[in-house]
Amino acid sequence: MLDKVVADIKSLKIQGSQSVAEAAMRAWVKARNKKEAYRKLYAARPTEPFLRNVLDYLMKHDDADALWEKFAVDKQEIIKLGAGKIRNDMIVYTHCHSSSVNRILVEAKKQKKKFNVHATETRPFFQGRITARQLSEAKISVTLFIDSAARLALKDADIMMIGADAITADGYVINKIGSELMATVAKNYGVPVYVCTHSWKFDPKTVFEFEEEIEQRSVKEIWSNPPRGVKISNYAFEKVHPDLITGIISEIGVMKPENFVSEVEKKNAWMFG
């Protein structure tokens, strides 16, 4: 079970920061050797502080039930705050697949709001298709664009909503590669950019000036047999500058990145102990 979960996280069979953290929680709870589980799960993906925070919390408090309850309540709060941003006749733009964004959109639909979603496909793994499939199953109108059509996808949008993998002490949000590109296009067209996330994606080690490592994946994901001499860059994530972010929607409220960081630090002394 443990090795399978670690392999599924590495191969992106389990993807998205929240799902990764939750799968790791289940695997840690089931594991007999907690230290081994901690070690293997912790290293499964580098740019995932939610995963690391959850594992650190479990090793300190060993209370997964309390954590599940907290996360269930927190999810509802994020859904409520996020759905509050969606109004009739909006075009909502999103990139990649964020379960947090999708839950918000499904709730807005339940509230009988009428809106359209523009999603970009997100090469090389096409997580945008997961987004599009889930939204269409929820009867939400969705149009998929190739990544290089991002300008078309964004120019008439009313709001951009993305997830987060990590948030650093200087207010940068790290999310799927392309996120800062899309946020820059959004800014160009006056489209507000909201990041929808649990606050535990904050990385406490960045307070001590450790850099958040950006995961680099196999070049084979992009080109299985490239000609000799062609170098390939395959960063999984990128940093979004705080100036491009209108607000971070999390269970502790809707805040500018700098306020979010100081609130998370205040509320989570255990992260630094």
Binding-site ranges for ligand RUB (CB under 6 A): 12, 15-19, 96-100, 127, 162-165, 175-176, 236
Kindly tell me which of 98 and 246 has the beta carbon lying closer to ligand RUB: 98
Cβ distance 75 to 68 under 8 Å? no
In angstroms, the CA 27 to CA 38 distance is 9
Kindly tell me which of 8 and 34 has the beta carbon lying closer to ligand RUB: 8
Cβ distance 35 to 7 under 8 Å? no
Q: Where are the alpha helices (DSSP H) in the chain?
A: 2-10, 17-30, 34-42, 49-61, 64-83, 99-110, 127-137, 150-155, 179-188, 257-267
AA letter at 35: K
HSE, side-chain direction, 13 A CA sphere, residue 91:
14
Q: Kindly state the smallest distance separating residue 102's Cβ from ligand RUB, in Å.
A: 8
Q: Kindly state the smallest distance separating residue 108's Cβ from ligand RUB, in Å.
A: 16
Q: Kindly state the smallest distance separating residue 35's Cβ from ligand RUB, in Å.
A: 26
> What SS3 state is found at 36?
helix
C-alpha torsion sign, points 79, 84, 88, 89: negative
Confirm whether 165 is a catalytic residue.
yes
Compute CA 173 distance to the chain's CA centroid, rounded to the nearest angstrom: 9
Q: Which of 62, 74, 158, 165 is catalytic?
A: 165
Q: Kindly state the smallest distance separating residue 168's Cβ from ligand RUB, in Å.
A: 15
Order of strands, edge to edge, in the sheet holding 237-240? Answer: 166-167, 173-176, 237-240
Residue nearest to ligand RUB (CB): 163
Kindly tell me which of 163 and 171 has the beta carbon lying closer to ligand RUB: 163
In angstroms, the CA 203 to CA 51 distance is 10
Kindly tell me which of 175 and 206 has the beta carbon lying closer to ligand RUB: 175
Q: Kindly state the smallest distance separating residue 62's Cβ from ligand RUB, in Å.
A: 24
Burial label, 110 (beta-carbon count in 10 A; 0-12, 13-18, 19+): exposed
Kindly tell me which of 206 and 250 has the beta carbon lying closer to ligand RUB: 250
In angstroms, the CA 17 to CA 14 distance is 9
Kindly tell me which of 34 and 124 has the beta carbon lying closer to ligand RUB: 124
Q: Kindly state the smallest distance separating residue 110's Cβ from ligand RUB, in Å.
A: 19
**Residues that are catalytic:** 165
